[in-house]
Amino acid sequence: MTDCNILYIGGPTGFAGGIERYACQTASLLRESGSHVTWCGFGEDVRDSQRFLNSFDRSATLEQVLAEPDNYALIALHKLPNINTLNALRVKFGERLVFWAHDHDLYCPRRHYYTPFGRTNCQRAFAPLRCWLCSHVTKPHNWKSLHSDHSALLSELKDHHAVVLSEFMAANLQKNGFDPQRTHLIHPAIQIYDYNSKLLNTKKINIIFIGQLIRGKGADLLLEALSILRIPWHAKIVGDGSDRALLETQASRLGIRDHLEFTGWLEKPEELLPQSDVAIFPSRWQEPFGLAGAEAQAHGLPVVAFDVGGVREWLEDGVTGFVVPPKDTQAMANRLAELFQGPTLRHSLGENARRHMQEHFSPNHFLDSFQQLVEAVSQ
């Protein structure tokens, strides 16, 4: 791609979570290929905002974007604005405004897409009354953080082109009225790392979790699985979030605190992957894709994950790692023990994982798909 002007529209400026990390990585890749990428954020600045902006050619406010001349080939809407802003963007950009479905916010006012009781994953399409009632089964002080305008946002966006990172998300959009012909699957670009076979560790297994320390990411389930392991192990919990204190308390209660290292947020968490033997992906919510797990595979690590959302689209059970039933901590512990007891299996799964990433999720695959999207919206 060359001489292509792209506008990214998102929420906070900085590294708030996976959406911003994805935006940063793909913007850098597009620029390296010759495109010019502008960032427009409508939220507050968050962690490491200047490093985030370094991935873009320029930044602009919503007011500037709506007032300045339009010379963009594609506008990537990475986070939902309010309905008035969305309508203004649609008037300005028309068909070139493309919705990126990174999460479940558009069709789930609670965002999590699981029920408030028992946290059972939901499979239903958005229905105004039912979803409004479900979203308000929470403490009243949380109501102000719930999404509004769902009916209007869904009505306005479902006629637009949309991008999904997995077939799982494509099915969710189509369930909510999106046109399959205008729903484009573009897998994330996963950087593939040189993989030098290391000496197989047979004395203990080094486990790593990378993610936000919030309930949906399931670090508490990982701790439960670790507490029933009867093999030598050490684990790094990489990331930060509102549940960190609770997780540290849980680790102490389970008697495993001495085997754990809580690193907090790291600028380059991937640098810890070569020191690890296996990555764990214990999400309880339906992951739209699961970028952290795929990136671990790109480093030649097998992954053990719960079978939620789009996980099976990058993790092949028994080939690049293991997929276990959701929230089944005993099954997760069993697979970890199997990997410790079979170091050659661990090695072969890791090599398969890296090869799989290279064949299906390379930067070139992303750029080719992005080019096809630009051509589709310009017709």
Model confidence pLDDT, tens digit, residues 168-222: 999 999 999 999 999 999 999 998 877 655 556 668 999 999 999 999 999 999 9
Q: Decide if domain 5-189+362-377 falls under CATH 3.40.50.2000.
A: yes
Residues in a beta bridge with 239:
264
pLDDT given at position 39: 98
User: What pLDDT is stored for residue 53 in this prediction?
Assistant: 96
pLDDT digits (tens, 9 = 90+) for 60-80: 999 999 999 999 999 999 999
Based on the number of CB atoms within 10 Å of its own CB, is 46 exposed (0-12), middle (13-18) or buried (19 or more)? middle
Average pLDDT over residues 109-132: 83
Average pLDDT over residues 216-239: 96
pLDDT higher than 70, residue 141: no
List Cβ neighbours of 124 (8 Å cut-off, separation of 6 or more): 130
Question: In the chain, where are the structural domains located?
Answer: 5-189+362-377, 205-360
Mean pLDDT along residues 46-61: 95
Mean pLDDT of 4-11: 96
Lowest mean pLDDT among 19-33, 124-138, 139-153, 364-378: 139-153
Helix (H, G, I), strand (E, B) or coil at 227: helix
165: pLDDT strictly greater than 90: yes
Spatial contact of 326 and 118, defined as CB atoms under 8 Å apart = no
pLDDT(132) > 90: no
pTM score of the predicted model: 0.91
Residue 251 has pLDDT above 60, yes or no: yes
- Asked if domains 5-189+362-377 and 205-360 share a fold, the reply is yes
Domain 205-360 in CATH 3.40.640.10 = no
Instruction: Count other Cβ atoms within 10 Å, centred on residue 268.
Output: 6
